[in-house]
Structure 1
Amino acid sequence: MDLTYDSHVLKLARVDWKADHARVAEALGQARGRRLILRAEQSAAPVLAGVGAGASPLGSASPGKREIRPPAGPDDLPRALAGAGIDLDRPFDLEIVIRQPVPGAPLREALLGRHGYRDTRDRHVLHQPPASPATAATGVAAPHPLRRVPYFFRDHGGAVDLVDLHRGATVFLILNGPSFARVDPGALRRPGIHTFGVNNGAHGFRPHYWTCVDDPTRFMDTIWRDPGIQKFVPLGHFDRPVWDRAAGRVTAERVADFPNVIGYRRNEHFQADRWLTEDTINWGNHADHGGGRSVMLAALRLCHLLGFRRVCLLGCDFHMEAGRHYWFPEQRSEQAVRNNTAAYEILHGYFAALRPHFDAAGFEVWNCTEGSRLDPALFPHVPLDEALAAATLDTSASTEGMYVDRYRPEPEPPLPMTAPTTTPTPDSTLLDPGSSIPTPDPSLLT
């Protein structure tokens, strides 16, 4: 039996039409698939006995779910709901069912949609902005019926919930500049230290997490084959081969065949105000929007989604020159060096726009790269030793005495021991000489 991901279902509970109509319309407008099905359900209004203030409810019956013909446009939606018997003045539940959400979407919309997608499998499903600034931090459960859609997927389309997996923790993001060659790798293996790598840097230093945005054949197959590295890739990579360096050819295996691979949807239209909350991963702008893309952007967003709230940048040199390309062996042409230099300038602009949103979300970025040319006004420079000390866990304590029941009531303390008592021998001198009580024989009292 094969498990097939055929439908995407978005359930909107307790919809308040006056407050939520714009967001419901947006959800419908961005739902893409072969077929769209709407189902609405609303409990019946109570039937009252009597008239006026003294009326009492007799009860109500739920009419069940009602299928609604998809509206021709946003203005037609309230008429469609009302025509199905939904009272827009009272809360109701709405299901949006998208049949075959990936293969059925129109190709032009998938390629040239408003977010500028270029990969036929990297398709935007739905975007739900945060309910309020108070719930803008991605991963926080918003107290609102319109919940955000999943971010991470397996190759068969099943969602994987990894949001806030490392809530509040620190991660060290390795960006492969030449300066990383001077970092002690053992320091990044200490207890409490999490690492995130990009591109071919993971061949020489094995991080906990890794991502890429370029074609999979550009990266060492040892990275793909390592189950100890959780790999985040654009959904469009799942069906592509990797490069077998030893055999000198592409593999018969596809990215989806390798262990510990998680997919995400990406977009190529940078918008700072929604960058931390949109349901796809932005990695910059396509040429149609001015250009400038980088795996660094995707990695930062992934770190935030995973719950990390402090990212320490390593190998973030932010300059490239002849003979100094990466911390690992690789050559770049003069044109590639110029392109990277131009990308650094564009990234400065992105980060300047993002910094206020990072601050509002409690998302810190420290630059721990010595000699970095990334503007310290954007991300402050913090010595690596200081960042490591803040994140490292002290494991010097003894485990002795840990295997006890912390919840069992303490027994009552024993009563203090007392010395045995003896009957004193009466002093015959204390008796009245004229008393009729005979003096006891001392031998009888022992």
Structure 2
Amino acid sequence: MSNLFVRMNTDRSETPASLENMFAGSTSTSCWLIGGGPSLTEESAKIIQQTPSPRMCINLAGAGLIRPTFWTSYDPSTRFHKSIYFDAGITKFVHKRRALDLVPESSFKVCDCPNLYFFDRQRDRQFHDFLAPHHSGIVDWSDSMVQAIDILYRLGFRTLFLVGCEMRVQPSVAQQTRAREAGVVYESGELLKDFLRRCEEKGLSVEELESVEREEQYHFAETKSLKAAASAESHYFRIAQYLRLCRRAMSLAGLRLVSVTPESRLNDYFPYLSLDEAAFEIKNETGDPAVETTDGLYRQLTDRRVDFRGPMRDFKPPVDQSRESPEPQRKRDNQHEFLVEAEGFENKKPRAAGAGQLRLQAQHMEQVPVHVKEEG
């Protein structure tokens, strides 16, 4: 079976990387999945970084607030930061078509970067087999967040906490006020393109709406035109519906998506936790580094095991006796060669005995004494 992730070189040669299920554990390991929405603040970023759980950032998400553990992008390489590509402490995942892109502000190719892995993309993924193990590539639905979900699942994570994933763009308070003056009331949850269409029907142009104070679109310093934002929000809406349609596939695969984003479109379809609740769940499962002490650990003489209600014992795995026994092995002594049948020999066809061989039939086992030295 070919590896899902590879390293690549400038001559396009590939080195397989065995990363699948590398981060899976006996419990449902968790990871933060961080989008670019405005709900991510300096205060919330601090809470996230204090939890013992890794962080996957998408595109420019986390810029100036969070240094990611994992990072992935869908857009052209020139849109992202040089320090992301060259930071060996960040594990990066990009599609193979980006391998020979130039890293911004450098003469190096993306494939020259440390701790960076490539994958093939797969466009024909269906909802019912969204996370099926037979897929040989990462899903390509023209969206970086869905790509990140698939990557994290293949790495072994089974609980994803989504932060900064509003999946919507709303008109600002000033724009809604100006629209009301024209007789248009913004409806909560309405698509931005539908709101702009109703404004134009009342004679209020998009250009006039853009002239008033605009809504913050990201938690970092970047904006789009109102028309571009409306187009992006239509894409967000489509992806939210895709994920809704994948809920059964995710349930069967054991993947749990949890929204930690207030006012997200995903909150209608997936469980929601506040940031403090999500942080508490992680610390309760993993441990809280903030309260762990080192005092006395090198001098520790007491038993630190959990107070179990009953005994705990490790066993060897049970042997399946129904399996067909392996072929018998030949064992030699100093004078004769013996062919000793393994268990189940009574069901095997007898073989012709060669010169110097003594065949031990099942019905003769008690009549003919055989002494075979144990190996070792």
TM bin, normalised by shorter chain, reads 0.5 to 0.7
Match of 2:109 among 237, 242, 254: 254
Letter in 1 for 2:14: G
For the pair 1:389 / 2:280, whether they are aligned, the reply is: yes
- 1:74-100: per-residue Cα shift (whole Å, max 9, x none)? xxxxxxxxxxxxxxxxxxxxxxxxxxx
- 1:340-361: per-residue Cα shift (whole Å, max 9, x none)? 1111221122112210011111
The answer to whether the 8 A contact 2:128-2:248 is kept is no
CA–CA separation in structure 2 for the residues paired with 1:271 and 1:194: 29
Runs of 4+ more than 4 Å apart: 401-406
Match of 1:372 among 246, 249, 264: 264
Q: What corresponds to 2:255 in structure 1?
A: 363
CA–CA separation in structure 2 for the residues paired with 1:298 and 1:202: 17
Could you tell me the TM-score, scaled by structure 2's length? Answer: 0.61
For the pair 1:231 / 2:122, whether they are aligned, the reply is: no
Question: How many corresponding residue pairs?
Answer: 245
The answer to whether the 8 A contact 1:203-1:220 is kept is no
Q: What corresponds to 1:43 in structure 2?
A: none
Give the drift of 1:185.
Answer: 2.1
Q: CA separation of 1:404/1:375 partners in 2, compared to 1, >3 Å: closer, same or farther?
A: closer
For the pair 1:279 / 2:136, whether they are aligned, the reply is: yes
The answer to whether the 8 A contact 1:283-1:296 is kept is no
Give the drift of 1:260.
Answer: 1.3
Q: What corresponds to 2:192 in structure 1?
A: none
The answer to whether the 8 A contact 2:35-2:62 is kept is no
Equivalent runs, 1:340-355 vs 2, <5 Å:
340-355=232-247
For the pair 1:313 / 2:162, whether they are aligned, the reply is: yes
CA–CA separation in structure 2 for the residues paired with 1:252 and 1:304: 33
Q: What corresponds to 1:174 in structure 2?
A: 34
Give the drift of 1:273.
Answer: 2.4
The answer to whether the 8 A contact 1:171-1:194 is kept is yes
- 1:195-220: per-residue Cα shift (whole Å, max 9, x none)? 11011124322110000011101111
Q: Could you say what secondary structure the match of 2:236 adopts?
A: helix
Q: Could you say what secondary structure the match of 1:243 adopts?
A: coil
Q: Which has the larger radius of gyration?
A: 1
CA–CA separation in structure 2 for the residues paired with 1:326 and 1:186: 18
- 1:302-344: per-residue Cα shift (whole Å, max 9, x none)? 1101111100000011112443211001121223212211112
The answer to whether the 8 A contact 2:240-2:265 is kept is no
RMSD over aligned Cα atoms: 2.2
The answer to whether the 8 A contact 1:193-1:388 is kept is no
For the pair 1:334 / 2:226, whether they are aligned, the reply is: yes
Q: CA separation of 1:343/1:397 partners in 2, compared to 1, >3 Å: closer, same or farther?
A: same
The answer to whether the 8 A contact 2:70-2:91 is kept is yes
Structure 2 unaligned segments of length 5 or more: list them.
171-213, 303-376
Structure 1 unaligned segments of length 5 or more: list them.
1-147, 245-250, 285-292, 407-446
Letter in 1 for 2:107: A
Structure richer in strand, relative to its length? 1
For the pair 1:164 / 2:21, whether they are aligned, the reply is: yes
Q: CA separation of 1:240/1:401 partners in 2, compared to 1, >3 Å: closer, same or farther?
A: closer
Q: Could you say what secondary structure the match of 2:239 adopts?
A: helix
CA–CA separation in structure 2 for the residues paired with 1:387 and 1:352: 21
For the pair 1:300 / 2:300, whether they are aligned, the reply is: no
Higher relative contact order, structure no. (Cα contacts within 8 Å, ≥ 6 residues apart): 2
CA–CA separation in structure 1 for the residues paired with 2:299 and 2:157: 32
The answer to whether the 8 A contact 2:127-2:249 is kept is yes
The answer to whether the 8 A contact 2:36-2:62 is kept is no
CA–CA separation in structure 2 for the residues paired with 1:158 and 1:226: 20
Letter in 1 for 2:163: L
Q: What corresponds to 1:152 in structure 2?
A: 5
Letter in 1 for 2:21: D
CA–CA separation in structure 1 for the residues paired with 2:46 and 2:90: 17
Give the drift of 1:181.
Answer: 2.1
Letter in 1 for 2:77: P
Equivalent runs, 1:401-416 vs 2, <5 Å:
401=297
- 1:91-128: per-residue Cα shift (whole Å, max 9, x none)? xxxxxxxxxxxxxxxxxxxxxxxxxxxxxxxxxxxxxx
Give the drift of 1:184.
Answer: 2.6
- 1:255-301: per-residue Cα shift (whole Å, max 9, x none)? 011221111111223412222121211131xxxxxxxx210100000
The answer to whether the 8 A contact 1:178-1:326 is kept is yes
Equivalent runs, 1:101-250 vs 2, <5 Å:
148-155=1-8, 156-167=13-24, 168-181=28-41, 183-204=43-64, 205-244=66-105
Q: CA separation of 1:183/1:296 partners in 2, compared to 1, >3 Å: closer, same or farther?
A: farther
Q: Could you say what secondary structure the match of 2:167 adopts?
A: coil
The answer to whether the 8 A contact 1:348-1:374 is kept is yes
